[in-house]
């Protein structure tokens, strides 16, 4: 594994997401709806959407390395477009450019029925 924490219990485990596809420069993760993902107004928390997009970028970025290495998000731009109260979520992320020290990644989180909730652009220091 070139990304993630191996057997460690990490934040992503707490969130409950599952990786459904990883290939070079691409990752898709899924998250089943749970009521505890809502904010006080009754909608899925915006911070969760940001987490899903950032987290899905990690395997996409890591897929380009032959060995495990450290890297981290250094910039994130998020555009919230819609909300949901009870849908399962799907997030896809893909690398748009790689250099020796920086990787750019874009991401979309949508409902399982395909309604886009947010888009993001992320930059990683590698």
* Candidate from 39-48, 52-61, 62-71 with smallest mean pLDDT: 62-71
**pLDDT above 80 (res 1):** no
Q: Note whether 94 and 63 are within 8 A (CB).
A: no
**pLDDT above 80 (res 9):** no
The burial class, CB within 10 Å (0-12 / 13-18 / 19+), for 95 is buried
> In DSSP terms, which residues pair with 43 in a beta bridge?
none
| Mean of pLDDT over the chain | 93
The pLDDT-based confidence of 3 (bands split at 50, 70, 90) is low
Q: What is the pTM of this model?
A: 0.93
- What per-residue confidence (pLDDT) applies to 5? 59
| Domains along the sequence of the chain with CATH | 11-125 (3.10.129.10)
* Candidate from 6-10, 40-44, 91-95 with smallest mean pLDDT: 6-10
- What per-residue confidence (pLDDT) applies to 4? 57
Q: Find tokens 């928390």 and name the residue.
A: 45
- What per-residue confidence (pLDDT) applies to 44? 97
The pLDDT-based confidence of 2 (bands split at 50, 70, 90) is very low
């Amino acid at each position: 594994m070139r990304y993630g924490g191996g057997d460690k219990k990490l934040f992503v485990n707490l969130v409950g997401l599952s990786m459904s596809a990883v290939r070079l420069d691409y990752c898709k993760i899924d998250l089943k709806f749970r009521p505890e993902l809502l904010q006080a107004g009754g909608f899925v928390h915006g911070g969760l959407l940001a987490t899903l997009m950032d987290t899905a970028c990690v395997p996409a970025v890591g897929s380009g390395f032959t060995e495990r290495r450290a890297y981290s998000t250094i910039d994130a731009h998020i555009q919230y477009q819609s909300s949901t109260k009870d849908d399962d979520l799907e997030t896809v992320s893909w690398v748009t450019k790689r250099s020796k020290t920086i990787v750019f990644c874009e991401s979309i989180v949508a409902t399982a029925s395909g309604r886009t909730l947010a888009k993001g652009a992320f930059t990683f220091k590698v």
